Homo-oligomer: A and B are copies of this chain.
């Protein structure tokens, strides 16, 4: 353990000597910073209209620095999309494992889903068209989105089974909900007066109205 040669004290004085773990963390942080800067520009101007020179400049570094952290432009996009997809996946798993009726679980998930769609990385999932990806990445992208959609359909099916959701066409219901809740990725302004949470609640209430059984 040569690392313990580095002074370690209870008072944790900031040391200019960084441990291996710290250096790895530094690297990960920088990589993350690149992704965040990139996704914001992609969302604001579009993938093709954003050059890696622009992204680098916004971070005060040069383009090769980005290539030091990520393989190429497409990988930058793919990583951003994957972060968004992971958030969605976690939300789906959480909802699937929660208590309550199908309707309750669906509602809880949709609220989270809508919020993620207004987040930097979530928005990128919606705004990224498969055509801009390589065939390989596009296939993986489609598969991961499909997982989310399957989860939604599952919740709808369970809601129909337990009577908390009206007996709608499951596929079209999921299309309708997805469309309604994806759309804010295009119009919601993070700097505007409407918080994602507020928007999500209003949209979910209205969108879910059509699935609620009639008294």
Contacts and interface: CB of A to CB of B under 8 A. Distances in A.
Interface of A: 44-46, 48-49, 127, 129, 131-132, 166, 168-169, 172-173, 175-184, 186-187, 199, 202-203, 205-212, 214-215
A181 to B, nearest CB: 7
A206 B132 CA distance: 31
A129 to B, nearest CB: 6
Given A172-B203, A175-B183, A184-B179, A129 B46 contact: yes
27 contacts: A44-B131, A45-B131, A46-B131, A48-B49, A166-B209, A169-B202, A169-B206, A172-B203, A172-B206, A175-B180, A175-B203, A176-B206, A178-B183, A179-B179, A179-B180, A179-B181, A179-B182, A179-B183, A179-B184, A179-B203, A180-B180, A180-B183, A183-B183, A205-B210, A209-B212, A214-B214, A214-B215
A129 B168 CA distance: 33
A45 B199 CA distance: 31
Nearest to A169: B202
Contacts of A176: 180, 203, 206-207
A116 to B, nearest CB: 15
Contacts of A168: 206
A87 to B, nearest CB: 20
Kindly name the residue among A132, A169, A180 whose own CB sees the greatest number of chain B CB atoms within 10 A: A180
A210 B206 contact: yes
